[in-house]
């Protein structure tokens, strides 16, 4: 196969095989995750803790497989894409992406930005929307009949969306998304892994541009884009603490250009993105729920698929 | 073809297609250097003095790369980035001793010197210059710490790596990618520094997406964590480039058309000057061998030598630059909301037809070899085709079974470690 072709696994045929492979690797993964000490927020939680009874499906002895991980990601992409669809187009996603969807609430009208860089921000968000819609379509295409439908989404879970907080809420989505993918990659292999990394790359593209835009916006008009933090505190505010601080230790307690560990986090790997477990991510999108929470926040009925509980 | 497969469509000109086909063959080759006993950890490795024109290929059984090889490959790129940012933001090389939370690290590991080492750059004259200055300082901090993170991971003995494996030392680096082995300093403008920083970050992203499938466990997690920041660096720098209309530094060959007049050094009616730089070598029918660009206008360019033949009446001459590599890149441009909502694309009439434009280096909605909205990926060969900057002739020759390209550009005496050839 030429180096520029992609290999797409047929999920319908491979799900069971993937489950068995994933189960076999599960024990090794548990050791690596523990040894890393880099699982971000949810203390004691691991990727494997997502196994639970859902919608009457009996508890199985196999760990969540690659299909489940990709569906977990698809739920997050649905959230992001739907948000940007309303913010930039004033309308929902194309119908091909919303088959059997849950209800969408808290959707804003199309946002009109004002002030410095307003046109550029508008254009930027349109390209971000293209990317997120593409991620939804690409994952649906990859998963085929195994793809979950879009769950019910409340877009106003972090506040009614307006011109003053759209960038900041978007920023939160992208930075949480980066940590979600970074935390999930060791559960994936081959082309699934490569795709996840390629999507992770784009989430980080979005993060960098949004954070820089917010910093410039607040520099021009202070307080224009108030910081919307991720609920677990494992998050860095978009803020410019100045050259000396950044060169010496990366982001300060006030924030930084990039969402990384700084020197202030003793014992952690500096200069890199954080990782979150699926539980850690779900806690955030469910509005800060504790272990056992299965719905809330952006997902009033929970996410779809096997990985759905904090 | 199944509905979930994507097909490569190549609508571009014949010359571009030839380049792609040749490059495509070259890029599938395994590294045969392993068969020469240069595999694995290579402290201070190097092959002895080599001709820059390439060396004979020894056909041996191809060895599998180890995860350590891939991590050392990424480490070489990180040496380049960290050192570049240290020079342009601090005015010095990366520190020999670097203290993090009471532990002293040695980032350079006693490695090689530098050529074309740029002096500290003043960015405050740019639009949003204060923020750009601060951002670059944070990027420097990130890259230096990622360097240490990689060194620590490679050198740690754990079940993912062979016990006793060490990280490779920094090879000789030409910080402006000119292939020079002459140790020394230089200066670079703020715009050029931004353009190169942008290019290196976007190339870095594709290096990580490209090697990911070969990594697992702690190696994969660190790669993903670094990728999560490289992308942010890239896009923030792209935005700064857009806000300052910084001239694009390309990763690959550019093709454009123009009209030549025999005996004149001027190329008229140039289809696009995007990405063309003073000093860029060019080739085409009627262009003198070795000619370079001396002046970049808006609709014309001037060459260092007169054309040897005129373009036929009512025709155009296709001219290619000989900056090597590929065209898996997107020029940082705000193409407007109506176009951006369809993803990066080549905006006709204003841009080079072989390069897409957009806020992010992703595939657009035109059918390509990767899914729309995804970041690109490169094989190690493709990354080196960008960083070694071979001439067009050398790159095409590398496609044959008789030569390899193993040095040049940013790494004038090759990368260290098991992965170092195109």
CB-closest option in A4, A207, A270 to B8: A4
Residue A238, both tokens: 């978009």
| Residues facing residue B292 across a β-bridge | B281
Closest CA to B287 of B256, B324, B241: B256
Percentage, residues of chain A above pLDDT 70: 78
* CB-CB under 8 Å, A32 with B226: no
Residue B374 and residue A270: Cβ atoms within 8 Å?
no
- Distance in Å, alpha carbon of A309 to nearest chain B alpha carbon: 23
Partner residue facing B231 (CB), from A141, A189, A201: A201
Of A257, A266, A273, the CB nearest to B135: A257
Does A127 sit within 8 Å of B145, measured CB to CB? Answer: no
Confidence class for position A34, pLDDT limits 50, 70, 90: very low
Provide the pLDDT for residue B392. 59
Question: 3-state SS of A76-138?
Answer: HHHHHHHHHHHHHHCCCCCHHHCCCCCCEECCCCCCCCCCCCHHHHHHHHHHHHHHHHHHHHH
What residues of B are in contact with residue A141 (Cβ under 8 Å)?
3-4, 371
Residue B405: the pLDDT is: 83
CA dist., res. B23 & res. B406, Å (int): 15
pLDDT mean over A232-237: 93
> Within an 8 Å CB–CB cutoff, is residue A193 touching chain B?
yes
To the nearest whole Å, the CA of B198 is away from the closest chain A CA by 12
**ipTM given for this complex:** 0.81
Contact A38 B370 (CB under 8 A): no
| Inter-chain CB proximity A127 and B340 less than 8 Å | yes
Which chain B residue is nearest to residue A192, measuring alpha carbons?
A: B213
Which site among B142, B215, B358 would you substitute to test the A interface, given the most A Cβ atoms closer than 10 Å to its Cβ?
A: B142
The per-residue pLDDT for B404 is 79
What residue of A is the nearest CA neighbor of B124?
A: A243
- Cβ contact, residue pair B4, A144, below 8 Å: yes
Closest Cα in chain B, distance from residue A273 (Å) = 5
Q: Does A14 touch chain B (CB under 8 A)?
A: no
Using DSSP bridges, classify how beta strands B356-358 and B330-332 pair: parallel, antiparallel or unpaired: parallel
Three-state secondary structure string covering A214-237 = HHHHHHHCCCCCCCCCCCCCCCCC
Q: How many CA atoms within 13 Å lie on the side-chain side of A296?
A: 15
Q: Which residue of B has its CA nearest to A34?
A: B218
> Over chain A, what is the mean pLDDT?
82
Question: How far apart, in whole angstroms, are the C-alpha atoms of residue B180 and residue B139?
Answer: 26
pLDDT at A265: 63
Tokens for B32, please give them.
Answer: 């045969």
Give pLDDT tens digits for A59-98: 333 467 999 999 999 999 999 999 999 999 999 999 999 9
pLDDT band at A116 (very low <50, low <70, confident <90, very high): confident
Count Cβ atoms below 10 Å from residue A212 Cβ, excluding itself: 27
Nearest C-alpha neighbor of B211 from the set A181, A194, A272, A25: A194
The shortest C-alpha distance from A154 to chain B (Å) reads 24
| Residues with Cβ within 8 Å of residue A75, at least 6 apart in sequence | A148, A150, A151, A299, A303, A304, A305
The verdict on A273 touching B (C-beta cutoff 8 Å) is: yes
Residue of chain B whose alpha carbon sits nearest to that of A129 = B341
Question: CB distance from A27 to chain B under 8 Å?
Answer: no
Q: Do A181 and B205 touch (CB under 8 A)?
A: no
Q: Does A22 touch chain B (CB under 8 A)?
A: no
Cα of A129 to nearest chain B Cα, Å: 7
Token digits of residue B165: 């494996």
- From the list B183, B166, B165, the residue with the least C-alpha distance to B174 is B183
CA angle A34, A36, A42 (to 5 degrees): 65
Are A3 and B383 in contact by the 8 Å Cβ rule? The answer is no
Q: Which of B228, B233, B362 sits opposite A182 (nearest CB)?
A: B228
Question: So what's the pLDDT on residue B348?
Answer: 59
- Asked whether the beta carbons of residue B225 and residue A269 sit closer than 8 angstroms, the reply is yes
One pLDDT digit (tens) per residue for chain B, 422 residues: 333 333 333 333 333 333 333 343 333 333 322 222 222 222 222 222 233 334 443 333 345 799 999 999 999 999 999 999 999 999 999 998 888 777 778 887 767 889 999 999 999 999 999 999 999 999 999 999 999 999 888 886 433 334 445 788 899 999 999 889 999 999 999 999 999 999 999 999 999 999 999 999 999 999 999 999 999 999 999 999 999 999 888 787 667 889 999 999 999 999 878 767 777 778 888 998 878 889 989 899 999 999 999 999 999 888 877 655 576 889 899 999 999 999 998 765 555 556 789 999 998 886 566 889 999 999 998 899 899 987 656 666 665 656 778 898 899 999 999 999 88
């Amino acid at each position: 196969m030429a180096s520029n072709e992609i290999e797409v696994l047929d999920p319908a045929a491979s799900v069971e095989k993937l489950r068995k492979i994933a189960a076999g690797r599960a024990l090794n993964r548990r050791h690596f995750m523990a040894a890393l000490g880099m699982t971000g927020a949810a203390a004691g939680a691991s990727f494997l803790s997502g196994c639970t009874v859902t919608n009457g499906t009996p508890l199985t002895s196999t760990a969540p497989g690659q299909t489940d991980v990709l569906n977990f990601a698809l739920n997050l992409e649905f959230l992001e894409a739907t948000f940007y669809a309303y913010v930039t187009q004033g309308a929902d996603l194309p119908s091909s992406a919303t088959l059997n969807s849950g209800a969408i609430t808290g959707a804003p009208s199309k946002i009109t930005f004002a002030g410095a860089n307003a046109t550029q921000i508008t254009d930027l968000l349109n390209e971000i929307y293209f990317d997120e819609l593409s991620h939804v379509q690409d994952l649906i295409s990859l998963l085929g009949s195994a793809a979950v439908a879009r769950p019910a989404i409340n877009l106003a879970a972090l506040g009614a969306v307006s011109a003053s907080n759209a960038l900041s809420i978007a920023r939160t989505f992208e930075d949480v998304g980066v940590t979600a993918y970074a935390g999930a990659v060791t559960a994936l292999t081959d082309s699934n892994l490569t795709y996840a990394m390629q999507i992770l790359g784009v989430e980080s593209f979005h993060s960098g541009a949004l954070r820089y835009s917010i910093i410039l916006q607040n520099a021009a008009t202070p307080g224009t884009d108030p910081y919307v933090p991720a609920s677990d505190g494992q998050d860095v505010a978009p803020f410019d603490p100045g050259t000396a601080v950044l060169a010496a230790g990366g982001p300060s307690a006030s924030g930084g250009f990039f969402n990384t560990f700084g020197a202030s986090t003793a014992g952690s790997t500096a200069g890199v993105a954080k990782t979150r477990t699926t539980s850690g991510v779900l806690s955030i999108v469910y509005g800060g729920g504790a272990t056992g929470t299965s719905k809330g926040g952006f997902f009033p009925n929970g996410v779809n698929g096997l990985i759905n509980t904090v | 073809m199944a509905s979930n497969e994507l097909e490569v469509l190549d609508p571009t000109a014949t010359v571009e297609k030839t380049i792609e086909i040749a490059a495509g063959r070259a890029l599938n080759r395994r590294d045969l250097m392993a068969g020469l006993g240069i595999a694995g950890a290579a402290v201070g490795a190097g092959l002895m003095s080599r001709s820059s024109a390439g060396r004979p290929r020894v056909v041996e059984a191809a060895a599998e790369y180890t995860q350590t090889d891939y991590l050392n490959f990424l480490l070489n790129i990180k040496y380049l980035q960290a050192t570049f940012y240290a020079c342009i933001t601090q005015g010095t090389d990366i520190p020999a001793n670097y203290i993090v939370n009471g532990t002293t690290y040695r980032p350079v590991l006693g490695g090689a010197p530098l050529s074309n080492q740029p002096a500290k750059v003043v960015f405050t004259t740019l639009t949003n210059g204060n923020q750009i200055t601060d951002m670059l300082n944070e990027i420097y901090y990130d890259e230096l710490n990622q360097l240490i993170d990689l060194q620590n991971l490679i050198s740690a003995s754990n079940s993912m790596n062979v016990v006793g494996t060490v990280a490779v030392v920094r090879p000789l680096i030409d910080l402006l990618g000119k292939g020079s082995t002459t140790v020394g300093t230089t200066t670079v403008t703020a715009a050029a520094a931004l353009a190169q920083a942008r290019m290196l970050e976007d190339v870095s992203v594709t290096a990580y997406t490209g090697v990911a499938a070969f990594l697992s466990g702690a190696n994969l997690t660190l790669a993903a964590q670094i990728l999560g920041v490289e992308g942010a660096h890239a896009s923030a720098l792209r935005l700064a480039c857009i806000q300052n209309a910084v001239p694009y530094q390309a990763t690959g060959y550019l093709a454009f058309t123009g009209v030549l007049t025999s005996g004149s050094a001027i190329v008229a009616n140039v289809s696009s000057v995007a990405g063309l730089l003073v000093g860029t070598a060019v080739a085409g029918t009627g262009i003198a061998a070795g000619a370079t660009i001396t002046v970049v206008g808006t609709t014309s360019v001037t060459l260092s030598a007169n054309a040897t033949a005129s373009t036929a009446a009512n025709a155009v001459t296709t001219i290619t630059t000989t900056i090597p590599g590929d065209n898996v890149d997107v020029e940082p441009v705000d193409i407007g909301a109506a176009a951006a909502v369809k993803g990066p694309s080549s905006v006709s009439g204003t841009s080079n037809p072989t390069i897409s434009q957009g806020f992010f280096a992703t595939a657009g909605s035109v059918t390509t070899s990767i899914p729309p909205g995804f970041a690109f990926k490169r094989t190690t060969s493709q990354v080196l085709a960008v960083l070694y900057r071979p001439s067009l002739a050398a790159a095409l020759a590398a496609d044959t079974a008789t030569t390899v390209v193993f040095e040049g550009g940013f790494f004038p005496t090759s990368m260290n470690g098991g992965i170092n050839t195109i």
